[in-house]
């Protein structure tokens, strides 16, 4: 089998099949099934590239790799005092398999360069189309689809366990679709990709996930600042045009609220910070974070053990967190950084945030030596990483297999860009 075919098969299985694989016969249709699917894909990848891997020498160990391995080591050691060993082992295995994904992607990029990168971008587009197709299929069942009423879309999950996870994963694919669009020279393909990006943003705004709203706003502003500094993109004409388009959109939204009387007004409430701070959802998160902080204060150095947050969390009381029907249970604190700190202690927390700090350090350092085109590519990746961090402060992408695959992909492409830059595809049709 030709190496190019092997790369296509492995990346297609990793980036297209795994993120949508699910089994309805288990409680969480996405988590464990995707973990097993990813394990099989990676084992198969070892067999496909065994000779090539055996001949590959690791010339450098990045600080990122050191932080990653340290986090894994601390999490593994924490099993010694974990109460529930089974949950702890599964949590440690997720860290290990994420590191293997990162190594696999780094290997493919270093060995096959532009070919692997092109396949990655195409897989990302294909996956985005599959997810959007599934979303519109679910939306088509709503009798009020053309009214875009809020209540009809609250239960849409796509291939994810819930709507919030669906939106956060769509945000991650948006990063690479943006990056992919820049690599295309043919205008037709670029317009098509811009249309796909616009559709993604529309869905993200429609589906009411506040964490993704904040991530889009802050990472988008971060990107625009970098775009202007690197390329001087905005001038008076473009600013006037942008203002005109914005005014038209605001007018259309106002007309929508004026002429239709349904539950669409809930969208405005989601942009009202005061409204959210007094909501039950906000109070619930604040209480969870406060009680997680108590766990950290009790065992700041060792933590409660990997995978054991949900075991020790109830000890600090749950009365104010339950709904009237007492049908809520908690498996994670909706903040990955507090989660890691509470389970693996100070050293595990420092190692985990060290991964992100190292990535930003490498990115900013490479901006000084790269050409304008590569600098903008790196800035897109850094903007996306910033958005991921914002989402991780309000949700739990750390638990989800597909989110971790794309986070590892972001790290791998960022470090590849630092060393090689991202080549511009001269003609996507002929590649």
Per-10-residue mean pLDDT, the chain, length 431: 89 96 88 96 91 69 89 97 94 97 93 91 96 88 58 75 92 95 87 93 86 94 91 79 79 67 61 69 84 93 94 74 54 93 97 96 88 90 97 95 97 84 50 39
Q: How many CB atoms lie within 10 A of CB 168?
A: 29
Asked whether the beta carbons of 293 and 335 are under 8 A apart, the reply is no
The pLDDT of residue 429:
43
Q: Report the SS3 class of residue 260.
A: coil
The pLDDT of residue 328:
57
Dihedral pair phi/psi, residue 327, rounded to 5°: -110, 20
The pLDDT of residue 185:
82
The pLDDT of residue 263:
58
What the block records as the tokens of 405 is 């695959």
Radius of gyration for the chain, computed over Cα atoms and rounded to the nearest angstrom? 22
Q: Where are the alpha helices (DSSP H) in 140-209?
A: 163-183, 187-206
Q: How far apart are CA 106 and CA 112, in angstroms?
A: 10
What is the pTM assigned to this prediction?
0.91
Q: How many CB atoms lie within 10 A of CB 28?
A: 14
Q: Where are the alpha helices (DSSP H) in 271-335?
A: 273-277, 280-298, 309-312
Q: How far apart are CA 371 and CA 369, in angstroms?
A: 7
What length does the chain have? Answer: 431
What the block records as the tokens of 8 is 């296509």
Name 409's bridge partners: none
CA angle 22/25/29 to nearest 5° reads 35
Q: How many CB atoms lie within 10 A of CB 342?
A: 29
């Amino acid at each position: 089998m030709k190496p190019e075919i092997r790369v296509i098969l492995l990346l297609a299985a990793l980036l297209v099949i795994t993120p949508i694989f699910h089994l309805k016969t288990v409680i969480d249709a996405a988590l464990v099934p995707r973990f097993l699917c990813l394990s099989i894909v990676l084992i198969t990848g070892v067999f496909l590239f065994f000779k090539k891997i055996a001949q590959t020498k690791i010339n450098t160990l990045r600080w990122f790799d050191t932080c990653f391995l340290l986090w894994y080591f601390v999490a593994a050691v924490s099993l010694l005092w974990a109460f529930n060993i089974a949950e702890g082992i599964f949590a440690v295995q997720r860290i290990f398999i994420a590191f293997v994904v990162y190594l696999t992607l780094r290997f493919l990029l270093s060995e096959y360069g532009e070919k692997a990168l092109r396949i990655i971008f195409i897989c990302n587009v294909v996956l985005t189309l599959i997810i959007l197709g599934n979303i519109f299929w679910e939306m088509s069942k709503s009798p009020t689809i053309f009214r875009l009423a809020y209540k009809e879309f609250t239960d849409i999950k796509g291939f994810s366990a819930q709507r919030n996870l669906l939106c956060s994963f769509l945000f991650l694919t948006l990063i690479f679709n943006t990056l992919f669009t820049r690599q295309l020279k043919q205008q037709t393909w670029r317009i098509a990709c811009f249309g796909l990006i616009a559709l993604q943003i529309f869905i993200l705004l429609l589906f009411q996930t506040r964490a993704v709203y904040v991530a889009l706003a802050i990472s988008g502003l971060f990107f625009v600042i970098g775009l202007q500094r690197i390329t001087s993109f905005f001038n008076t004409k473009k600013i006037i045009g942008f203002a005109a388009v914005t005014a038209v959109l605001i007018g259309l939204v106002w007309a929508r609220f004026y002429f239709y009387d349904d539950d669409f007004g809930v969208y405005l409430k989601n942009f009202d910070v005061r409204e959210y701070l007094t909501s039950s959802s906000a109070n619930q998160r604040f209480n969870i974070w406060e009680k997680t902080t108590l766990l950290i204060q009790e065992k700041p150095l060792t933590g409660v053990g990997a995978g054991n947050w949900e075991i020790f969390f109830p000890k600090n009381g749950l009365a104010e967190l339950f709904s009237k029907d007492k049908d809520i249970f908690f498996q994670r604190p909706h903040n990955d950084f507090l989660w890691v700190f509470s389970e693996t202690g100070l050293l595990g927390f420092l190692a985990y945030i060290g991964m992100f700090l190292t990535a930003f350090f490498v990115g900013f350092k490479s901006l000084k030596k790269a050409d304008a085109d590569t600098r903008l590519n790196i800035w897109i990746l850094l903007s996306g990483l910033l958005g991921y961090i914002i989402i991780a402060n309000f949700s739990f992408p750390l638990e989800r297999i597909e989110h971790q695959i794309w986070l590892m992909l972001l790290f791998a492409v960022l470090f590849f860009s630092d060393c090689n830059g991202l080549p511009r595809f001269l003609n996507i049709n002929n590649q």
